[in-house]
Amino acid sequence: MVSAYVALGANLGDAAATVRWAIERLALLPKTTLLACSSLYRSDPVDAVGPDFINAVVALRTALSAIGLLGELQGLEQLAGRERPYHHAPRTLDLDLLLYGNDQIESPGLSVPHPRMLQRAFVLLPLAEIAPHRVVAAQLQAVQSQRINRLERQAHAGMPDAGPRCCMGALS
């Protein structure tokens, strides 16, 4: 079993509902346990145009390979209606494998750690919320100019309110 971290984002349709739906589906992946989920965050699009994004990060424990997990993530994106008409297009759902244990993977279809994660507040702030040992202060300071707001915390639908390690977040 390996610890993995996945970033979630959406900026089309009811983005918050889509991110919550994806979290629920991640908890149902084969050979995988949902360990923790950040609050939901609202952020500006980065290197893109369109509405604000709703973002979160989850921690998983999985027996799936990195490529197997990526395949499951892409399947969930497809179920959510994800299309890729052009690079950085607005999206119904974006799931990125940020970290897979301590592995470093470089292949045509997968780069781990995610190559741009340290440049994005919408990844680092939610990741720091659930895995502070994975983010250092200098990394957070480097992205402090990017607009990001944590949304009001509420128990995630279908999950008990077990505190900050429980899946949380809702639009007020």
Known catalytic membership, residue 47: no
Q: Which amino acid is at 34?
A: L
Known catalytic membership, residue 134: no
Q: Which of 25, 96, 120, 134 is catalytic?
A: 96
Q: Which of 94, 103, 153, 161 is catalytic?
A: 94
Q: Which of 20, 25, 42, 82 is catalytic?
A: 82
Q: CA-CA distance, 134 to 148, in Å (whole number)?
A: 19
Known catalytic membership, residue 14: no
Contact 33, 61 (CB under 8 A): yes
Known catalytic membership, residue 82: yes
What DSSP line would sit under 30-86, residue for residue? Answer: TTEEEEEEPPPEEE--SSS-SSPEEEEEEEEEE-S-HHHHHHHHHHHHHHTT---SS
Residues annotated catalytic, as ranges: 82, 91, 94, 96
